[in-house]
Amino acid sequence: KQEVTQIPAALSVPEGENLVLNCSFTDSAIYNLQWFRQDPGKGLTSLLLIQSSQREQTSGRLNASLDKSSGRSTLYIAASQPGDSATYLCAVMEYGNKLVFGAGTILRVKS
């Protein structure tokens, strides 16, 4: 059974810092990996999607990498801002169009 783990569970950084969130998964037979953002009381918003044949994707200050063979992904946030404060979740798509989620990393960026 696929298990997705995210480290750290929570992170607090001063504004302007670059930071890395980590995600690991146990079964490398995935179609893609997605990073989501969730604000309190809201639904999830997809940030980046990396297909299994790709190594990374970038969107603005966000960069996500994927090492499928080792079962790892990282989300890099450059020059963090208070507006980046949210919970970040990674999820892997496995056979059958199913997304399995990690527990998330709660990020707080202090101004």
Partner 1 sequence: DAGVIQSPRHEVTEMGQEVTLRCKPISGHNSLFWYRQTMMRGLELLIYFNNNVPIDDSGMPEDRFSAKMPNASFSTLKIQPSEPRDSAVYFCASSLAWTGTGIATNEKLFFGSGTQLSVL
Residues within the interface to partner 1 (CB under 8 A): 31-32, 34, 36, 42-46, 49, 51-52, 89, 91, 93, 96-104
User: Measured between alpha carbons, how far is 26 from 2 in angstroms, rounded to an integer?
Assistant: 6
Nearer to partner 1, 79 or 103 (CB): 103
Shortest CB 15 distance to partner 1, Å? 28
Contact 111, 82 (CB under 8 A): yes
Shortest CB 21 distance to partner 1, Å? 16
Nearer to partner 1, 14 or 43 (CB): 43
Shortest CB 16 distance to partner 1, Å? 29
92 phi and psi angles, rounded to 5 deg: -115, 140
Write out the two tokens for 38: 């969730």
What is the number of other CB atoms lying within 10 angstroms of the CB of residue 82? 10
